[in-house]
Structure 1
Amino acid sequence: MAIDLTALRAHFPSLNTGLAFFDGPGGTQTPRPVAEAIAATLTGPLSNRGNVSPSELNAERAVADFRAAYADLLNMPAGGIVHGRSATQLTYDFSRHLAKSWQAGDEIVLSRLDHDSNVRPWIQAAERAGVSVRWIEIDAATMELDLDSYERALSPRTRLVAVTAASNVLGTKPPVRRIADRAHEFGALVYVDGVHYAAHHLVDVPALGADLFVCSPYKFLGPHCGVLAGTPELLETLDPDKLLPSPDNVPERFEFGTLPYEILAGATAAVDFLTAIDPGTGTTRRERLAHSLGALHEHEQALRTRLEDGLQALGNAVTLHSKAADRTPTLLMTLQGRDAREAQVHLASRNVVAPAGSFYAYEVFAALKLQDPALRVGLAPYNTADDVDRFLDGLADLNL
């Protein structure tokens, strides 16, 4: 498997600025076909959904195509694909939906490895319901989840386990299937934050063991929105508060107000763009996606190796906190004697975009006592070896 990087990069107008982007974990650059799909849908003709006029049918098609695309991307039924404004919004919504069945004395299990969007909504819902929160801790030596602490957190009272499929700052990929299987033995639901994971791997929600899985297309070349996947059978058991005239069928009962048809079209175009990068000879979109994303994974892993080798050459001046055995090409680092924000500004002066902060990973930074801000470097499909070398040269110029 191999990708034509020159051809790939030609689809991204923002790359013509000469900037080297390492901020993919916060949101990737947008290829022209995604923007064109959004513009074409907006200029339509376009109306609210219906089955009479061409403009109504265009809206219907945008919704159906979106559900079909994310069914293929996540290996889930189209009837279980829910649109949301963001992963945070979807998690807040579903924390309220699920908490309706919780009772005082119940427990939920959360992970210290997670972005706060998969922590705070559950804590706040638990507080309102009188439910206790238990924790899966991080092993500071490996930057992986401490599964012994997970075993101690589980009980017959556990109603939910919420865990990330990949840390947005450390890149750590926990053994989600193992975690899910144990949760299911106690009768608990498993909610998986796949926002960072989906940017680097072909997702198979059933294989992960997730009951509910959320991701964000803008992390993998699409527009700003969120997607939640669950089986229609599970979604049928959840009763959201909603307007009386609004649809009660699944998945639409969870989508409030008029859908943003242009955003749905852009999110669909992002899946199709990924599919076409290196599709192989697959006959289905899922097969072509598997081939393309496999090639992208190899490309990103090669760049990660180049990046890590270069950081190692800088010696003790750089402390790399991303060290789990299984992780994405996202690196969190602190710099000896330097504030990471200083490094961000210096790199920006060299047209290298590498952000500093804690990136909403509140529990990670608190549990590991990490210096805030830290520098995060994340690789995306359009990154090149030259980008990596420019980043490393920029760091070296700081006289670390």
Structure 2
Amino acid sequence: MAIPLDVASLRSRFPALARRFNDHPAAYFDGAAGSQVPQSVIDAISDVLANHNANRGSAIPTSREADERIEEAHRAFVDFLGAADPAEVYTGQNMTSLTFAMSRALSRTWKPGDEIIVTRLDHDANVTPWTLAARDAGAVVHTIDFHADDCTLDLAALASRLNSRTRLVAVGYASNAVGTINPIAEICRLARSAGALTFIDAVHFAPHGRINVSELGCDFLVCSPYKFFGPHLGVMYGRLEHLERLEAYRLRPAPARPPGKWMTGTQSHESIWGGAAAVDYLASLGGDAGFRGQRLDVAYERIRAHERTIGERLLSGLRDLKTFRLWGIADSSRWDERVPTFSLTHAKFTPQQLCDQLLERGLFTWAGNHYALSFCECCDLEPGGTLRLSLLHYNTQAEVDRLLEALRSFDR
């Protein structure tokens, strides 16, 4: 069993966690919208801007230093994703931009009558890029539903839709609305058996669980460091054979081979270096022994254990509320099927009203559709969406108890 996280110690590394609001200690339950960052990430970003700010490829010292940092950051992202070949990982502005670019490249290989599969459980960034690309190519889009009782994907429906015309299955690793973890390795196996590619949105899963693209067997996977304690950035994995084969929309002097051929224009060097610092922060939670990938393995064991402790505490309290509805898996024995992200609706108050009232007590939550538009439409939650409560490993049991006490005041 992994040594428990020293949460008090790691919290001291996050300046934002010392904030107060309305004379209350701020408690961040908005991690699904973006995490706070440790001082080491802030320092890394500042260091690039203060001391190594130059474009790449020159003999001047600042340019050589920029080259060194970007190359080291690239190695950190390769370790983070468990990629077999460094050429399979690259960065971009954000997950959405990277997905749109890949959707354009992939759709050039589609023809009328080809089929694409998306789901109603996904963030719209893994739906609309594919539906627009399919429209332009004349391909057919099939949307997979989820089970209403526990908000888990209908795998039988997905399997029945796969056939020789299926070109792509786009699915999220974990739902950013209700926390469901999808069985990605199984989905990739099913898609591969039908000859289809897989595109995995791992943005919401990345702060909660270890990613290993080699074990998953996916063709593409994308995540965002601002969700795992870093700056705004997108990081993409693509199987090398696809990255070499597909045509990238790029400038003529740009590199002709991956990963460079997929990195459009001048990158945000400070964000890339800050993203690598976020990976190293996570690795530091796994101790000092072993390679970075091994330390990440241990770190995520510790993260998962702590999140389960505080997540089950919150889940237990949410189940007792009479005037709230909890969307998604509510059974603590099924914890391995979810991350600690919870969506609620109330019999009387709107999600925004609840969010505003909780804010008065220093409790930072989120109201809306969370860009999980298909989910909210399917559940008749538009407009308004849900009140989303999302935990990260820097949250504490005391914060969870404060949140539950506040929610009970609305349970009437």
In 1: Cα distance, 2:160 partner to 2:286 partner = 44
Residue number in structure 2 paired with 1:24: 31
Hey, which bits of structure 1, 4+ residues long, moved more than 3 A? none
Deviations 1:69-122 (A, max 9, x none): 011111002211110111111110100010111111111111111000000000
Residue number in structure 1 paired with 2:391: 379
Q: Which amino acid aligns with 1:145?
A: L
Identity of aligned residues (%): 37
In 1: Cα distance, 2:287 partner to 2:238 partner = 27
In 2: Cα distance, 1:35 partner to 1:269 partner = 9
Please say if 1:205 is aligned against 2:213: yes
Deviations 1:16-71 (A, max 9, x none): 11210000011001111101000001112332112522211111112211210011
1:98 maps to which of 93, 106, 113 = 106
Q: Residue 313 of structure 1: CA displacement? A: 2.7
Answer whether contact 1:135 1:149 (CA < 8 A) is retained: no
In 1: Cα distance, 2:182 partner to 2:288 partner = 30
Answer whether contact 1:8 1:382 (CA < 8 A) is retained: yes
Residue number in structure 1 paired with 2:198: 190
| Secondary structure of the structure 2 residue equivalent to 1:359 | coil
| Secondary structure of the structure 2 residue equivalent to 1:376 | strand
Q: Residue 245 of structure 1: CA displacement? A: 1.4
Q: How does 1:101-140 map to 2 (within 5 A)?
A: 101-140=109-148
| Secondary structure of the structure 2 residue equivalent to 1:198 | coil
2:354 maps to which of 343, 358, 361 = 343
In 2: Cα distance, 1:339 partner to 1:241 partner = 44
Residue number in structure 2 paired with 1:317: 323
Q: Which amino acid aligns with 2:355?
A: Q
Residue number in structure 1 paired with 2:54: 47
Deviations 1:239-291 (A, max 9, x none): 1121111221211111111111111110000000011123263x110011111
In 2: Cα distance, 1:220 partner to 1:119 partner = 22
Residue number in structure 1 paired with 2:12: 10
Residue number in structure 1 paired with 2:189: 181
Residue number in structure 1 paired with 2:22: none
In 2: Cα distance, 1:279 partner to 1:59 partner = 28
Residue number in structure 2 paired with 1:290: 297
In 2: Cα distance, 1:278 partner to 1:362 partner = 36
Q: TM-score, normalised by structure 1?
A: 0.97
Q: How does 1:231-246 map to 2 (within 5 A)?
A: 231-246=239-254
Q: Residue 309 of structure 1: CA displacement? A: 1.5
Number of residue-to-residue matches in the alignment: 398
Which consecutive unaligned segments of at least 5 residues does structure 1 have? none
- The answer to which of 342-351 and 231-240 deviates more is 231-240
Q: How does 1:209-358 map to 2 (within 5 A)?
A: 209-279=217-287, 281=289, 283-314=290-321, 316-323=322-329, 325=334, 326-358=337-369
In 2: Cα distance, 1:376 partner to 1:148 partner = 28
Answer whether contact 1:280 1:291 (CA < 8 A) is retained: no
Q: Which amino acid aligns with 1:122?
A: W
| Secondary structure of the structure 2 residue equivalent to 1:390 | helix
- The answer to which of 142-151 and 352-361 deviates more is 142-151
Residue number in structure 2 paired with 1:367: 378
Residue number in structure 2 paired with 1:80: 88
| Secondary structure of the structure 2 residue equivalent to 1:162 | strand
Q: Residue 399 of structure 1: CA displacement? A: 4.6
Answer whether contact 1:44 1:58 (CA < 8 A) is retained: no
Going from structure 1 to structure 2, the CA distance change for 1:123 and 1:16 (only over 3 Å counts) comes to: same
Q: Residue 398 of structure 1: CA displacement? A: 2.7
In 1: Cα distance, 2:103 partner to 2:197 partner = 12
In 1: Cα distance, 2:400 partner to 2:86 partner = 39
In 1: Cα distance, 2:259 partner to 2:93 partner = 15
**Superposition RMSD in Å:** 1.3
In 2: Cα distance, 1:51 partner to 1:285 partner = 30
Q: Residue 14 of structure 1: CA displacement? A: 0.9
In 1: Cα distance, 2:205 partner to 2:189 partner = 19
Deviations 1:168-209 (A, max 9, x none): 011111111111111111211100000011110010112222
Q: Which amino acid aligns with 1:192?
A: I
